[in-house]
Copies of this chain bind each other. A is one copy, B any other.
Amino acid sequence: MPLEIERKFLVANDVWRAHVTHSVEMRQGYLTREGQASVRVRLEGEAAKLNIKAAVVGSARAEYEYDIPPADCRELLATLCVGRVEKTRHYVPAHGAHDGAVWEIDEFVGDNAGLVVAEIELQAADAAFEQPAWLGRELTDDRRYYNHYLALHPYASWPETERG
């Protein structure tokens, strides 16, 4: 079974911006409201993908991903999705982790503006990695920061006291 193992954090400051190698605009939506799986379609620059992920909370989740035609993806986003998220994903090389590891830093826009989240994909849930100085509180086990949750309950709708 293809497993996605990742850990997720808030960012504490903007120092990471100096290390961005590239950025991609992403627009994604969900075909499921609840259930055992989330089904997501996403435009990533010129590409489009459909993704199925087990709806469990934690660092390791079964994940399946397929390319789909971008035109289909745009239609699905416009018609059949029950929640949407827009963000820019910035890529920052990670140091001290396994070869080629990269921080993916999602800067949300629209109804989730103000939220910036950093994720790193690991080979194992307990794999060591260097925590850069700009890293904030860990969110791995907090389902409110899952994109599926943000699509249905955008950050702008959260009580002030629950943000950050």
Contacts of A72 in B (CB 8 A): 2, 64
Tallying the copies of this chain within the complex gives 2
**Are A80 and B50 in contact, CB atoms less than 8 angstroms apart?**
no
**Are B1 and A37 in contact, CB atoms less than 8 angstroms apart?**
no
Q: A52-B31, A68-B66 are in contact. Are A37 and B80 (CB under 8 A)?
A: yes
Contact partner, A80, options B36, B76, B79, B82, Cβ 8 Å: B36
**Are A79 and B66 in contact, CB atoms less than 8 angstroms apart?**
no
Does A138 make an interface contact (CB < 8 A)? no
Does A32 make an interface contact (CB < 8 A)? yes
Contacts of A39 in B (CB 8 A): 31-32, 39
Residues in A lying within 8 Å of B, measured CB to CB: 1-2, 31-37, 39, 50, 52, 54, 62, 64, 66, 68, 72, 75-76, 79-82
